[in-house]
């Protein structure tokens, strides 16, 4: 399917924007991979009838909410208590994202090209934690009214030190995955 021409203003009511973190280290067996949902974002997608499409996104850095632990790609909704989730969110703000200094995470496309029907290659620049780097990812649609995709970033590229605890024996991997599943209708 092809995306329909139009200007789309997407927010959390349009679907999900999620971050997946992964554990590593000597004590990783007692830690959890995490599913974190972005609860405050605006994505403006412009698809003209002819010419180049564009996308701009702004994510509030303090809007990441821990949903659940993950194991082997499956949700583990009963693994974390509410206090655990709150502690992780506080540590993410205080020790990782620093939203008072860097309140927004921004993406701006530089090109969007259709690779095949229903599959688009999006290239652009991501600004996170005060650093800007190029990223590219595929966005797919099956109906022309939905948009799904995933990409991986390296925290260190953006000056972020991956979270560590217990003298570094427990830590979050440098690479994190970002996924989106949005409705254009």
Identify the pLDDT of residue 49. 86
Nearest-angstrom CA–CA distance, 175 and 1: 31
Identify the pLDDT of residue 167. 55
121 belongs to a structural domain: yes
1 belongs to a structural domain: no
In Å, how far are 47, 109, 110, 116, 172 from 123, measured between CA atoms?
15, 6, 6, 16, 27
159 belongs to a structural domain: yes
Two tokens, residue 71: 């194991």
Nearest-angstrom CA–CA distance, 142 and 100: 39
* pLDDT in 10s for each residue of the chain, 185 residues: 778 889 999 999 999 999 999 988 766 666 789 999 999 999 999 999 888 999 999 999 999 999 999 998 899 999 999 999 999 999 899 989 999 999 999 999 999 999 999 999 999 999 999 999 999 999 999 888 999 999 999 999 999 988 876 655 578 899 999 999 999 98
73 belongs to a structural domain: yes
117 belongs to a structural domain: yes
35 belongs to a structural domain: yes
Identify the pLDDT of residue 50. 85
Tally of domains within the chain: 1
Residue 77 sits in a domain whose CATH number is: 2.40.128.110
What is the domain range of residue 160?
6-183
Identify the pLDDT of residue 166. 62
The pTM is what? 0.92
57 belongs to a structural domain: yes
Identify the pLDDT of residue 32. 86
In DSSP terms, which residues pair with 46 in a beta bridge? 7, 54
59 belongs to a structural domain: yes
């Amino acid at each position: 399917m092809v995306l329909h021409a139009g200007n789309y203003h997407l927010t959390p009511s349009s679907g999900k924007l999620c971050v997946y973190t992964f554990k590593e280290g000597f004590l990783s067996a007692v830690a959890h991979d995490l599913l974190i949902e972005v609860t405050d974002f605006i994505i403006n997608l412009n698809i003209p009838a002819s010419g180049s499409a564009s996308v701009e996104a702004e994510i509030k850095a303090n809007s990441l909410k821990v949903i659940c632990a993950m194991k082997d790609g499956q949700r583990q909704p009963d693994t974390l208590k509410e206090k655990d989730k709150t502690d992780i969110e506080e540590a993410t703000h205080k020790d990782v994202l620093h939203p008072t200094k860097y309140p927004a995470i921004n993406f701006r496309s530089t090109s969007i090209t259709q690779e095949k029907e229903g599959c688009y290659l999006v290239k652009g620049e991501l600004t996170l934690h005060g650093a800007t780097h190029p990223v590219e990812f595929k966005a797919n649609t099956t109906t022309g009214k939905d948009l799904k995709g995933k990409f991986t970033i390296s925290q260190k590229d953006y000056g972020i030190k991956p979270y560590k605890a217990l003298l570094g024996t427990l830590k979050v991997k440098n690479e994190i995955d970002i996924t989106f599943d949005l409705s254009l209708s």
